[in-house]
Structure 1
Amino acid sequence: MLNQIQQQQRQSANQLTANTTFAPMTDNGRFIVEGGHQLAGEIVPQGAKNEALQIISATLMTDQPVLLTNLPDIRDVNKLLDLLTGLGAEVERIDRHTCRVTAKNIDVAYMQSADYVRDAQHIRGSVMLIAPLLNRYGRATLPKPGGDKIGRRRLDTHLLGLQTLGADFKYDAERFIYSFTTDGLKGAYIHMDEISVTGTANVVMAAALAEGESTIYNAACEPYLQQLCKMLNRMGAKIEGIGSNLLKIQGVETLGGTEHRMLPDMIEIGSFIGLAAMTGSDITIKDVSVENLGIIPRTFERMGIQLNINGDDIHVPAQDHYEIQSFIDGGLMTIYDAPWPGFTPDLMSICLVTAIQARGSVLIHQKMFESRLFFVDKLIDMGAQIILCDPHRATVIGLDKRAPLRGISMSSPDIRAGVSLLIAALSAEGTSQIDNIHQIDRGYQDIDGRLRALGAKIIRE
């Protein structure tokens, strides 16, 4: 029965046209996963979600066309593009992964509408629309943004940075809405109080069109932030220090159009590495942009996973066992997140689930978000040996594949935990049900179809 349904789904998919938006938009859905199957083949990572949200926001900084390629067809990206359309930008969907945005006639008043407030609060990336609109129109509105429920994610860094550049803001506590105004942004020295990627992106976009010179210290320097700065420079901005935590920006009066291609998504790449290890599969991840992966490959190698880097591809061979290394002094391996060039927090959930079937033990220390490890109770129900020390730390005692996990029913609490649960289900014995899969769809494009192509047994209901 499972194979018949999969065949019908493949036939339906082949009938869709190239310019169709594929990302499922319903909030109701579940995956039925038959675990215990080895996968094999090649998979191409989608365009980077976190980069796309910054880049799409930056298209509002010019009235000239901006062509975007390698866009991931996922919920969060499509929702942000819908917000731009509501604001009056012309969004031309050329194909599934390409669009041209022309933000010539923007209706800033639309930000006060009930439709905008409802839609913007469901996507945290909407916060990065503030700086472009402040620069061009002197005012902007932001409902308290949503996103993953992974702990407190304050907006202070955004607000204080914009305020230093000359923006005033008010907060309506009854409607949960921030209102921003300015008579003109002016360059300033800003020492960021935290290394926030979206906070840095907002301040960079604000400073690019502000009058005079700005210096941003303690800036985030992730590859996606570097991509934003490079794109703005192609549009006519003057940003120096790209790739470091000290940016100098000379404001310009206007920006022009450009073309921009998203990097491959490093979080997807790490997810596929973990999937291959947990299921004992032979998978080649194509076109990964190795130079932009930082310490991600080395971190998985420290978990005993063999990675063969061939040009710009990563081949993960099937392994019966993978052994977690210890520190040089013999101490227990600890994997912790940190701002770039440290290990990205978005892969901590993947490392945790991958360690379940490793040989040895590891301490997972999630420093940046206090609610990201709360999904481990589901993994424990599946048979994992995990000790949740506190909201930030979990010790995983590897099973070394002596016993498989068992399939259960569970729910996806956020994007990364959802995919971690999916990886666990694919490695488990029996059938699992994962509810609330719209969370996974927010960040992973057609994940069930792409994994079925590798041999996974997944049904989307």
Structure 2
Amino acid sequence: MGSFEVIGGKRLKGEIVPQGAKNEALQILCAVILTDEKVTISNIPDILDVNNLIDLLAAMNVKVERLDRHTCVFQADDVNLNYLRSEDFRSRSSRLRGSVMLAGPMLARFKKAFIPKPGGDKIGRRPLDTHILSFEKLGAEYVYHSDDGFFHLTTNGLQGTYILLDEPSVTGTANLVMAAVMAEGTTTIYNAACEPYLQQLCKMLNHMGANISGVGSNLLTIQGVEKLHGTEHHMLPDMIEIGSFIGLAAMTQSDITIKNVGHEHLGVIPDRFRQLGIQLNVIDDDIHIPEQDLYEVKTMMDGGVLTMYDHPWPGLTPDLLSIILVVATQAKGSLLVHQKMFESRLFFVDKLIEMGAQIILCDPHRAAIIGLERRYKLRGIKMSSPDIRAGVALLIAALSAEGTSVIQNIDQIDRGYQYIDQRLQALGAEIKRV
């Protein structure tokens, strides 16, 4: 298992280009199953989770042609359905939570699917109920087999219907949309997720011949079609990586320009960092963060402590709360972070406290941060990355800290951030992979 050795306290400078969006990639790649024609996808992030999904598609006998590390041509004209019952499929897919989104396309096109208990970050309960109960409403039947750990889903033909989701789950909505595009009749999904990545999926499916309206809202109407066709699709830049780089620049007092950010798709993210007192200059489609000695957290209008919390789009994505928490440790002022969606995502703060941060973990969902105002630097320690976002948050803390830090279990970081050590080295960071 690899580690990062980081010598902190260096001010960085330069330009950095965000990778393609991880969360979009996991949806888009599953959608190639819906057609037997060629689908070309560009701006694919070269990261562990995405590459594992591409390898899984290839193992299913989907033809994969890599034009380069970020562009692939897929053709699912000879899918091996027997492989889906194999131990190899169970092993591969159970390590990758995104594989659950293969179920919708498989049901739509082949009338059967198998969902293993999924892997991914250990950040709290992430039940499959929304996925499976939605498939049931479309006319699928399911049985859980404890002997192999699979949910077995079958249908004689999906039928469009009205579905009110119990939560606006992004992966649940994506899975349901991919199942409904080839169902007979009209499917209406209310309380649907409407994140930019979900919008991208709907736009791609419409280019393939689907009939989806209401894209960008929480009410989707899908008129089923008999067949989908090939297409070309370019992924958005990763908004989580963009937010991570904003936090990195602030914490290390660096002058960094983030190129080609797709600003119109970032929602409230820039404003949330401005509320922390961070200066952001939007220049065309770039974001410039100037070197800043001190940033001050805004207070509420009544003088109360600012609270930041996650919320379904267009609210703040939960994936950035770990970054925001770290950035607040060196701010002037206090912040309450309320992680509503996942009950284990704040448990990395013990490492930050060991580094010298002033944080009170109120309960599994809330942490109060008292900013150090740069009066005291964080200190380097040896630590382990518990999940993708906490791992990068700890990396940002290490880059701002005094002395040397060692971050273990960096496979978690590699799952979501491509060549992160090399790209940070290009900005002047002292980081090496051990």
- TM bin, normalised by shorter chain, reads over 0.9
Whole-Å separation in 1 of the counterparts to 2:146 and 2:125: 18
Question: Who is 1:238 aligned against?
Answer: 211
Q: Deviations over 1:49-86 (max 9, x none)?
A: 00000000000000000000000000010000111101
Deviations 1:303-329 (A, max 9, x none): 000000001000000100000000111
2: CA distance between counterparts of 1:184 and 1:64? 22
2:95 — aligned with what?
Answer: 122
Aligned equivalent of 1:305:
278
Q: Which amino acid aligns with 2:337?
A: I
Residues of 2 paired with 1:306 and 1:386: CA distance?
24
Structure 2 counterpart of 1:266:
239
From 77, 82, 102, the equivalent of 1:104 is 77
1:14 aligns with none
2:38 maps to 65
Task: Tell me which residue corresponds to 1:25.
Answer: none
Q: Indicate the residue corresponding to 1:401 in structure 2.
A: 374
- Structure 2: distance between partners of 1:190 and 1:212: 13
How does 1:362-377 map onto structure 2 within 5 Å? 362-377=335-350
- The CA deviation at 1:174 is 3.4
Which of 379, 386, 392 in structure 1 is aligned with 2:352? 379
Deviation at 1:122, TM superposition (A): 0.5
**Normalized against structure 1, the TM-score is what?**
0.94
SS state at 2:54 partner: helix
Match of 1:164 in 2: 137
Task: Tell me by how many angstroms 1:433 deviates.
Answer: 0.3
Partner of 2:179: 206
Cα distance in 2 between the residues matched to 1:141 and 1:156: 15
> In 2, distance between residues paired with 1:299 and 1:239?
32
> Which consecutive aligned stretches of 4+ in structure 1 deviate over 3 angstroms post-superposition?
none
- Percent of aligned pairs with the same amino acid: 66
SS at match of 2:226: coil
| Structure 2 counterpart SS, 1:410 | strand
Tell me the equivalent position of 2:160. Answer: 187
2:128 maps to which of 137, 152, 155 = 155
Q: Distance in 2 between matches of 1:135 and 1:459?
A: 46
CA contact (8 A) 1:111 1:142 kept: no
Residue matched to 2:296: 323
Letter in 1 for 2:48: R
Question: Structure 2: any 5+ residue segments left out of the alignment?
Answer: none
Cα deviation digits, residues 17-43 of structure 1 (max 9, x gap): xxxxxxxxxxx1000000000000000
User: Structure 2: how far apart are the matches of 1:216 and 1:162?
Assistant: 12
Match for residue 395 of structure 2 among 400, 410, 422? 422
User: After superposition, what is the alpha-carbon deviation per residue over 1:314-368, rounded to whole angstroms, capped at 9, x for unaligned?
Assistant: 0000100000000111111000000000000000000000000000000000000
Gaps of at least 5 residues in structure 1 are 1-27
Q: Residues 380-431 of structure 1: CA distance to partner in whole angstroms, max 9, x if unpaired?
A: 0000000000000000000011111000000000000000000000000000
CA distance in 1, matches of 2:146, 2:170: 26
Q: CA RMSD in A?
A: 0.5
**Aligned equivalents of 1:136 and 1:86: distance in 2?**
18
SS of the equivalent of 2:9 reads coil
| Paired residues of 1:39 and 1:279 also in contact (CA < 8 A) | yes
Q: CA deviation at 1:140?
A: 1.3
